[in-house]
Chain A
Amino acid sequence: MSKVTFPRMGESWRTFKMLMEDLGNEVVVPPRPSKRTLDLGVRYSPEFACFPLKILMGTYLECIELGADMIVTTGGVGPCRAGEYAMLHQKILRDLGHNIKMIVFEPPRFYPINFIRNVWALNKARVSIRGIIAHIKRAWRKLQALDNVEKLSHVIRPRELKSGNTSRVYREGLQWIDQAYSTSQIIEAEAAALAALKDIPQDPHRMVLRVGIVGEIYVLLEPASNLEIEETLGNLGVEVEKSMFLTGWTRDNTWKETTEGMTVKEAAASYLPELIGGHGRDSIGNTILCAKRGFDGMIQLAPFTCIPEIVARTILPRVSRDYDIPVLTFFLDEQTGKAGMSTRLEAFTDLMRRKKIQQTRTSLLTS
């Protein structure tokens, strides 16, 4: 029987593992990207391919060592390079002599037959159609639970009294959700995790900055690729709101566009009316929306040589000036070091804090 694996993106692997096992597959859980993953990935990938391709390349190679011979991943319709990556990965892996099978999910809105065929190929237990739908629904609920808990952890972390509490409780909560199987169990685990996070002793008087994170989805969602930027920021007293989660993105790209997606598009329209692939337009739209909601600053995360984010990065300074919101960009690659990033983040938070204090002072004086 073939062993299935899939790309790792944050904590979402817990859901995919459950779903794959429900359909009767043996799953190789992709290990968390490490130094070795990167080394492997960089060795076999084109030099100027973006960071996600290299990490995934390394992850796949590590999974193959663990015995995987079938990879489930997503495709795309361009113009972002990521849409071609599944094909390139397969070519490179075959070239290295690994005879793996790739199952590539294209957007079902445009390729319904591809979707059905893929599900059929993965459905080893021959679950009925109704059963598949129920499994997907349950997996979806779990994904939402994981996202919700993560969102709350970003709010609690900057306010915690004892540093490190939130991360510990968050990890415990993930375990609970991971162990939950039926829908009611998932809801219960989610509620328990949320309650445990809320119970963490907090400092109500601390000045907390609010920062939005925009950028390319993979480096946004995989902590190993963005060097745990949310945790670093949280420990600096910054509440983080990520513009993108897997649930929101999946909804936008599978069935129909959500109102949130439309608002982002509209907000960006005056700066970038064209869809340029990837998340370039979302980065601009979300920056504008966050500025309107009174955020203190924005951070853009992008893989090195990411085309859409370079376009966005070129336009963002203007947005930053027009809406008076500071924007800091990180181009991430295998050379990015945690210390350098921390220094830049510290300086950025210091500047934002000073700006905020000055603003409150002037508003006190004028009122």
Chain B
Amino acid sequence: MTIKVGIPGSLLYYLYYPMWRTFFNELGVQVVTSGVTTKNILDQGTREALADACVPIKLFYGHVMDIKDRVDYLYIPRVVCLNGKTVYCPKFLGLPDMIRYSIEKVPPIIDVRMDTRQGRFALLKAYLEIGRILGSPKILVIRAYLKSVGILYRYNRLLRKGWSPVQAMNFLENQVGGTAFADSTKPSLKFAVLGYPYAIYDSFISVNLIDKLRKYGVRVITAENIHPALLALQRNCSLPKRLFWTLSDRALKAAHLLFNQHRIDAVLHLTAFGCGPDSLLNKLIEMEAKKHSDIPFMTLMIDEQTGEAGMNTRLEAFVDMVRRKKEALACQK
């Protein structure tokens, strides 16, 4: 019988799932995921997690609850630092421990520590450790690792082209779904949607934000669509100190870049209720937006009670206002 490893479909899933899936499949391990978020998953998560935790963490709990009885191992790596500079949110660092000690009857958790500050081969070592836990020979693990790195590269390239993670994952898994997406009408507006991948791309928790914007005829840019080198060029975004957290840092750099490029019509920041790093990030983006008063900026907050109607109204109103402003400006010229 093959070993089944469960990967909860939230948080880092949106950034690294194709890589992890390839890695485990190469080792002959079956991967089970919880798939897209549903109402049931969210409800379960809200019940299990601490009330003070943020929505993404609650969602993660829900995803764990969904798959924990169907797998032999849960794969929740302790991702500390992947670029040698910034770390992940403290909740990510303590995630395996939170799951282990607060959910009843969890299967064994593979919680290898990934910290590239420890040396050049820290990541490979982490994956070798996974291989050891699963009892795979070293040479096979190294081959699987190399292949998975290649997949991650392709995945990120697809994301940069503007594919959504779900489409890209589908494409890499089944080699189907050629075109990115069919735009029925030529989009007239270009919005930047900033925020964390696990909030933006989770169509349930973000109430389909991106699809909605597309329906209104808006082209959407996210931080994932921008080349990392361009983001790195932003340095510290004229702050005396860079943000500690990888994803927040990336969002801030994207905001800085997009505001200064002046090629977008508006900026939306999607933040989750109770998100710690966002309390800073939002303020910093807001201050950046203040400097560029010609680009409208809106913060959307999501939580487990977010309703479809309220979101629609706000989005429609915002899009209409931006469009009217743009048309008025065009008339003046």
- Which of A's residues lie within 8 Å of B, judged by CB? 46-50, 75, 77-81, 83-84, 87-88, 90-92, 95, 271-278, 280, 304-308, 310-311, 313-315, 317-319, 331
Contact = CB atoms under 8 A, between A and B. Distances in A.
A280 B98 CA distance: 12
B50 A314 contact: yes
A79 B239 contact: no
B102 A317 contact: yes
Given A48-B278, A87-B239, A314-B98, 9 more contacts: A50-B276, A79-B87, A274-B80, A274-B94, A274-B113, A277-B90, A314-B53, A315-B98, A317-B101
A311 B97 contact: yes
Given A78-B244, A310-B50, A48 B275 contact: yes
B81 to A, nearest CB: 10
Contact of B240 (A47, A48, A50, A87): A87
Contacts of A306: 276
B87 A78 contact: yes
Interface string B240-284: 110111000000000000000000000000000111111110111
Contacts of A88: 280, 283-284
B299 to A, nearest CB: 10
B280 A84 contact: yes
Given A280-B94, A315-B101, A318-B101, A307 B283 contact: no
19 contacts: A46-B280, A48-B278, A50-B276, A78-B244, A79-B88, A79-B89, A81-B279, A84-B280, A87-B239, A88-B280, A95-B287, A272-B97, A274-B78, A274-B113, A276-B91, A307-B276, A307-B277, A308-B90, A313-B50
Q: Which of A276, A310, A313 has the most CB of B within 10 A?
A: A310
B274 A48 contact: yes
Contacts of A313: 50, 52
A272 B111 CA distance: 12
A75 B244 CA distance: 12
A81 B244 CA distance: 8
Q: Which of B49, B80, B91, B94 has the most CB of A within 10 A?
A: B94
A57 to B, nearest CB: 11
Nearest to B87: A79
B172 interface: no
Contacts of A319: 101
Contacts of A272: 94, 97
A317 B245 CA distance: 28
Contacts of B29: none
Contact of B283 (A46, A78, A275, A278): A46
Interface in B66-111: 78, 80, 87-91, 93-94, 97-98, 101-102
Given A75-B241, A81-B277, A87-B240, A310 B91 contact: yes
Interface of B: 49-50, 52-53, 78, 80, 87-91, 93-94, 97-98, 101-102, 113, 239-241, 243-245, 273-280, 282-284, 287, 290
A359 to B, nearest CB: 26
7 tightest A-B contacts by CB?
A: A78-B244, A311-B94, A48-B279, A318-B101, A307-B276, A276-B90, A49-B279
Nearest to B53: A310
A4 to B, nearest CB: 20
A315 B52 contact: no
B276 A48 contact: yes
Q: Which of B98, B241, B287, B290 has the most CB of A within 10 A?
A: B241
A315 B284 CA distance: 32
Given A46-B283, A75-B241, A313-B52, A80 B101 contact: no
Given A79-B93, A305-B52, A314-B98, A49 B287 contact: no
Nearest to A78: B244
A317 B243 CA distance: 32
Contacts of A317: 101-102
Given A87-B240, A311-B98, A305 B274 contact: yes
B271 to A, nearest CB: 8
A307 B90 CA distance: 6
Q: Which of B101, B102, B278, B284 has the most CB of A within 10 A?
A: B101
A331 B93 CA distance: 21
A331 B276 CA distance: 14
A67 B331 CA distance: 51
A291 to B, nearest CB: 15
Contacts of B101: 271, 314-315, 317-319
A79 B283 contact: no
B91 A307 contact: yes
A111 to B, nearest CB: 11
Nearest to A277: B90
Nearest to B239: A87
Contact of B276 (A83, A91, A274, A305): A305
B89 A307 contact: yes
A276 B276 CA distance: 13
Given A276-B90, A315-B98, A315-B101, A79 B245 contact: yes
Contacts of A81: 276-277, 279-280
A278 B91 CA distance: 12
Contact of A314 (B102, B239, B240): B102
A83 B248 CA distance: 15
Contacts of A78: 87, 244-245
Nearest to A274: B93
A84 B241 contact: yes
Nearest to A284: B97
Q: Which of B98, B275, B276 has the most CB of A within 10 A?
A: B276
Contacts of B91: 276, 307, 310-311
Nearest to A308: B90
A142 B49 CA distance: 44
